[in-house]
């Protein structure tokens, strides 16, 4: 990348990883601060962007494989696939009635 070993296609996934990483303290702050629809929407948005980021990484690895000196293709595909599945499960769990009731403070 930029004259290094990895293809330039990896620039976007790495930038989005950095941005998501920098946003973690903000997400944790709002999660600990309280409940509500805004907190739930923030978690949904953050998780959906994370899911897209993992999918973008898989596409980058498929079309422009990372240099073997950095990581093997098996490691990249395996780790990205695993975390994509976990992130997708998180998004689906946030849409469950119990989770929504927790954040919307609905007692039934």
pTM: 0.81
Residue 104 binned pLDDT confidence (cut-offs 50, 70, 90): confident
- Per-residue pLDDT, averaged over 40-65, amounts to 92
Could you tell me the CA-to-CA distances from 41 to 56, 61, 67, 75, 95 in Å, in that order? Answer: 22, 30, 37, 32, 10
Scanning the structure block, which residue is given the tokens 């093997």? Answer: 72
pLDDT of residue 106: 67
Q: What range defines the domain where residue 35 resides?
A: 20-104
Going through 1-108 in order, the beta strands assigned E by DSSP cover: none
In this structure, the chain runs to a length of 108
Number of domains in the chain: 1
Which residue has better confidence, 73 or 44? 44
Within a domain: residue 14? no
Within a domain: residue 1? no
Task: Report the distance separating Cα 105 and Cα 32, nearest Å.
Answer: 15
Q: Looking at the predicted structure, is the pLDDT value of residue 101 above 80?
A: yes
């Amino acid at each position: 990348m930029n004259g290094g070993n990895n293809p330039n296609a990896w620039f976007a996934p790495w930038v989005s990883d950095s941005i998501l990483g920098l946003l973690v303290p903000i997400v944790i702050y709002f999660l600990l601060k309280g409940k509500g629809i805004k907190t739930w929407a923030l978690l949904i948005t953050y998780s959906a962007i994370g899911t897209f980021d993992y999918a973008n990484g898989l596409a980058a690895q498929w079309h422009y494989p990372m240099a073997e000196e950095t990581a093997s293709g098996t490691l990249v595909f395996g780790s990205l696939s695993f975390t994509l599945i976990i992130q997708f499960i998180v998004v689906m769990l946030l849409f469950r009635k119990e989770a929504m009731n927790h954040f919307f403070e609905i007692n039934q």
